Structures are given as C-alpha cells and as structure tokens.
Structure 1
Amino acid sequence: MTMAPGGATGRHYHPGQVLVIVESGTLTRVLHDGTVETTRAGCAFVEEGGPGHAHSGHNLGAVPVVLHVTYLVPAGCPLSIPVRSAERCN
C-alpha cells in the first residue's frame, strides 16, 4: 500500500489482526483511545481487529509512505470497515 504525502485512510477498523511493515516514509496513526503512534521506515506493528480498535492512518510527511500489509481477516470479510458504517463482520 502506498499513501501519498498528505494522505489519510479515514477512520476504520479491521475484522482481524493486521501486520504492517513500513518500508519508507513515516506513518502516523490515531488509535481508538486518541493515542497517536508514529512508525518510521524499517519498523513494524500489529493492529488488533474489531470495532473497539478503530483508528486512522496519516502521512504527515513530504514523501510517500509505503507499507507491506498482511491482513488476517475471516473469510468473506472485507479488509477494513469504515467506522461510519453499520456493517459488521464476525
């Protein structure tokens, strides 16, 4: 996944865990509790799944953020679900 400078994912959650490696740039995430986490190139993180772990991702830098993402979601579920959506996948 590549996010252009100034780009954002919108607030969403994943139906299962997501494993992420930041290849380049710096990703800033706003987590479900308002905590802000910044992950730089060469680092990795795990996002927990479910509506209680809604978050958004932002590229506040001047270069594209390139992510390698592995989604561990149940079969038949979307990779992410916008928070504004009433849709759920269990």
Structure 2
Amino acid sequence: MFDTKFIDDAVKRLSESLPPGLNKFKKDLEKNFRAILQSMFAKLDLVTREEFDVQKKVLTKTRIKLNTLEKQIAYLENHLTKSKSKKSKK
C-alpha cells in the first residue's frame, strides 16, 4: 500500500494553496483531496521503495540461481554427449 504520509503532505500543500475565499471549505476540500489522491494512487498500483528494493533483491538472487542452473545443465548435457559418443565407438 502507498505511504499515507505522502498523501497527507500533498493534501496539506493543496489546502495551503487555496485562495483565502475558500478557507471556510478547507476541511471539506481536504477530505475530497485525500479521497481523490487515494483513489488515483490505488489505480496506479504503486509500490513503496521498500517493496521495490525487496523485489529487486529477490530478482537478483533468482538471476544468480538461474545462471548456476544453466551452467549445471550445460555441464550435464556435455557430459551426456561425451558418454553417448564413447558408447557408440564401442
């Protein structure tokens, strides 16, 4: 889920930028700003930096494991090919 502090800060900045004539509607506007921002960010399906960093680490580990497995497969295929060629020469 998205950081609510960011939304709170954005709502505060928006409400502070209101013209003086709209100050009497400040609480209602803040409520509407918050609802709109939360809705927009929910539709964007954003992740936090922390979640991104965790997934980045998982991906790095997965790539390392994939490279290791690819090397093992290549070794086994090579070994199998050599074994077959030795048997066919007999």
TM-score range, shorter chain: under 0.3
TM-score normalised according to structure 1 size: 0.18
TM-score normalised according to structure 2 size: 0.18
Structure holding more helix per residue: 2
Name which structure has the greater RCO, CA cutoff 8 Å, separation 6+.
1
Larger Rg: 2
